[in-house]
Amino acid sequence: MRQRFLAVVVIVLSWLAMASPASAQATRQTEAYKRIKVKLDAVPAIDTHDHLWPFDRLPGLRETTRGKGMNLSSIWGNSYWTQVGRLTPWQPKMEFEDWWKDAKDDWDNSRATSFYRYTQIALKDLYGVDWDRVTDEQARELDRKIFDNYRDQKWLHHVVTERANIELMFNDPYWARFAFEKSYPFEVIVFNITSLVRAFHASEYGSENPFDSPYEFATKHGLPMNSLDDFLKVLDRLFLEAKDKGAVCLKSTLAYQRTLKFDNVPKERAEVAWGKRRSVLTPEQVKDFEDFVFWSI
């Protein structure tokens, strides 16, 4: 019985492997497929992880011959695809044709990756362009449409709330962790606590981003930061403000930076690192401080 079952599975998998793109496309034209898609598209979604910048600060903004705005280079350049492929750089005020003649082959070796596929699907759904087979003229027209759409923030709202049917977006503003500012009506703030664990010295934070530093937050609110006890009080104030401004949950990306083993370190060991630059601390002392703060949070 088991052998018969395995044989059926092998046959089905073999048939799926041999199914052509044409047959898959034909399936999408059936009434059953269309009915299922309508039902699925009607289900409101909650986006539990996003990084949507304020509209006037979108990182994809480019200087073009038509002015500052979003274009085809913006979409690909700010997708995760750049982790597996190299996009030809966009130079300020350059003509699209000058960029495209060098960029048009950038995707040849990455079309099977998920980072490519999700962007390819989005372009097809939103603009009707199949990036797998895009022509020079289609690319030029797509660039124009993207620029025109992003002239108005209504386009972003249309894509998020209507096309994607997202009714609530958990937004992690990693570029301004402690600003606690909402930019969109469908957004709720995520309190990103990643940078708090390295507060043993002010030099851990760059001056270019005051909304990433608990020292800047303390100064703004007239709070001292002269001891570990002071810092713990600043932490309490940060959490109160985050709650008052509508933050709904916490987030940490420390898994990208260090081990996830956080020991329950006593306060006395954490105090060893306080007020000292990283250069004079051992890795163990840094970890002790980070572990203590994480447990305190």
Domain boundaries, the chain: 50-163, 172-296
Q: What pLDDT is attached to residue 206?
A: 87
Neighbouring-strand partners of residue 169: 47, 187
Q: What pLDDT is attached to residue 13?
A: 41
Q: What is the phi-psi region of residue 177: left when phi exceeds 0, alpha when psi lies from -120 to 50, beta otherwise?
A: alpha
The list of the chain residues with pLDDT below 50 reads 2, 5-18
Q: What pLDDT is attached to residue 25?
A: 65
Q: What pLDDT is attached to residue 23?
A: 58
CB-CB contact of 33 with 26 (8 Å): no
Task: With H, G, I as helix, E, B as strand and everything else as coil, classify residue 197.
Answer: helix
Alpha carbon 241 to its chain's center: 24
Q: Give the residue carrying structure tokens 């100064």.
A: 219
Give CA–CA dist 151/160, Å, rounded.
16
Give CA–CA dist 280/267, Å, rounded.
20
CB-CB contact of 234 with 223 (8 Å): yes
Q: What pLDDT is attached to residue 27?
A: 87
Q: What pLDDT is attached to residue 119?
A: 97
119: its two tokens: 């962007």
Q: Give the residue carrying structure tokens 């350059």.
A: 94
Give CA–CA dist 50/36, Å, rounded.
27
